[in-house]
Amino acid sequence: MNPLKTEIIKQLHLSTALSVAEVERLLEVPPREELGDYAFPCFTLSKAWRKPPNVIAQELVAKTDTTSGAFSTAAAGPYQNFYLSKSKYVETVLKEVFIKQHDYGSNTSGQGKTIIIDYSSPNIAKPFGIGHLRSTVIGQSLYLIFKKLGHPVVRVNHLGDWGTQFGKLLVAYRKWGKEEEYQKNPVNYLYELYTRFHQEAESATQLEDQAREEFRKLELGEKENTKLWRKFREISLNEFKRIYDILGIEFDSYAGEAFYDSKIEVVLKELEENKLTEVSQEALVVNLDKFNLPPCLIKKKDEATLYTTRDLAAAMYRRQTYDFHKSLYVVGSAQQLHFQQVFKVLELMGHAWAKDCIHVDFGWVKFEEQILSTRSGHILLLEDVLRRSIQLVREIIAEKNPDLEEKEKVANQVGIGAVVFAFLSRRRQKDFDFKWEEVLNFEGESGPYLQYSHARLCSLQRKYSRPISSEVDFQKIAGREEYQLTKLLENFPETVKNAAEQYEPHIIANYLLKLAGVFNTYYQNVRIITEDETATKAKMLLVYVTQIVLREGLNLLGIKAPEKM
């Protein structure tokens, strides 16, 4: 906390006899700048002191010691208002950022509290579509945010590598598959076969029965089906890792659905011991009527398990293996009911930690108003989007800065950053309609705008070409614009904390746009490097710490911060 605010809280604690925690809870930020930086409402004391709030406010002003020069104070009706010394405030914040550097915004509150994040989780034998990017970048950003707050974080990619879909793929591969076509582009070819299965099954209904039978054989370990499954899984995982390398993302575990298939018996036994299961229409279910939820299907009538059963097994395994503080599932809003059922069944099984399982849901990804779906074949490949974005950046560089060093590296960082920011700059629960002209718009509120702002800050430092110090004349940067910028810099740690509490990277994205906007306005209105060395030295400290915070914020979104553009 800002030491100046701490001093105000201490003074109020002494003058009101309220606890420090109570004072901190009551202290407000006034709605208008002219009313000060903080305001203490005196209504709470009115009953106990038997005086009107406006009288109490005047008495508190008289009791407050302002000799430190950190702030002044005045009564305004029922409020005691506090006005911070701008130069002291700027000095306090800027020195803290300067000292902490990339650790600014970090804390140790998460030490010993392991967070599991289940994200991305594409399906084997299907190409990586733009729809999967939303889970991937939200999950990656949450990993970086929780890590900054000191949490041990386990990144889990719960691959969709089991289930009836593999029965469908096995049928399609045997019926229509050609090895020479497969070898050309394995994952895309398998996806074509999967799509064809659904098209053919609309008229040839026996195909669905054949698929169920092939998956049943796979569950029983039939040799040929298992061999093909392993082949498809390996080739798909290698392709996914190639995409993750482009995005700069790694995982600690690729344990997919198949990994938990062998652990289902433990789940079934525990459900039975707790007398939770019953047979309904020949299927094994957990009745959840009393919780206003439909029955949770555990086993189909043909004895095949479902991803619900495997999610129960996965949750129990993760708790036993990692003893998590929170287990997050970054999965689309369409799965809301599924997770309500899974978490409720875990609770009924007697697992008190079920309350620590959180569905971090997000809206649909659409393309030209159509919902993207791998089953229907309506898919937009992520690699195509990234390639197009990077090429656009190459063209802009060729036109505006052809002599730029490391052009290809910058094109990749900015092209990928544009796409990632487009997905993180809106609240996750809102549907995202992918539009080329918006995603690849490098003007205004975009990833490239933030990256360019960072590069501008770095350019100023190169131009100054002298060591930057925190020992400056802070009176030189105590104006209204510098004060506004400093207030935003002070808010960064709280912004990181809020983003973690709400599982919402959008909060950081929005903060960075405000920070860049205020700095760019300052840059347009104020000459930073001038013949007045004392003023320049102070302003360059402000430039330096702003660059640190902007870089750290971009890092938390999984976006690179180029120094030249």
Q: Is residue 441 predicted with pLDDT exceeding 90?
A: no
Residue 485: C-alpha distances to residues 28, 89, 99, 135, 470 (Å): 20, 12, 18, 33, 17
The CA-based angle 439-251-372, given to 5 degrees, is 35
Residue type for position 88: K
Given the structure tokens 């309506």, which residue do they identify? 378
Per-residue pLDDT, 226? 95
- Whole-model pTM? 0.92
Continuous segment of H or E residues that includes residue 111: none
Confidence of residue 317 (pLDDT cuts 50, 70, 90): very high
Q: Where in the chain is the domain with CATH 1.10.730.10?
A: 382-556
pLDDT one-digit tens code per residue, 164-208: 889 999 999 999 999 999 999 999 999 999 999 989 998 888 999
pLDDT one-digit tens code per residue, 330-373: 999 999 999 999 999 999 999 999 999 999 999 988 776 555 55
What average pLDDT score do residues 542-549 get? 98
Continuous segment of H or E residues that includes residue 387: helix 382-400
Per-residue pLDDT, 369? 55
Q: How does DSSP classify residue 420?
A: H
Q: Where in the chain is the domain with CATH 3.30.1360.70?
A: 3-84
Q: How does DSSP classify residue 79?
A: E
pLDDT one-digit tens code per residue, 454-488: 999 999 999 999 999 999 999 999 999 999 999 99
368: tokens are 């030209």
CA quadruple 266, 228, 131, 300: dihedral sign: negative
Q: How does DSSP classify residue 476?
A: G
Q: 153-157, 201-205, 370-374, 376-380: lowest mean pLDDT where?
A: 370-374
pLDDT one-digit tens code per residue, 504-516: 999 999 999 999 9
Statement: 382-556 belongs to CATH 2.40.50.140: no
Per-residue pLDDT, 444? 82
Per-residue pLDDT, 130? 87
What average pLDDT score do residues 77-95 get? 96
Per-residue pLDDT, 379? 72
Fold of 3-84: Gyrase A; domain 2 (3.30.1360)
In whole numbers, what is the pLDDT of the chain averaged over residues? 93
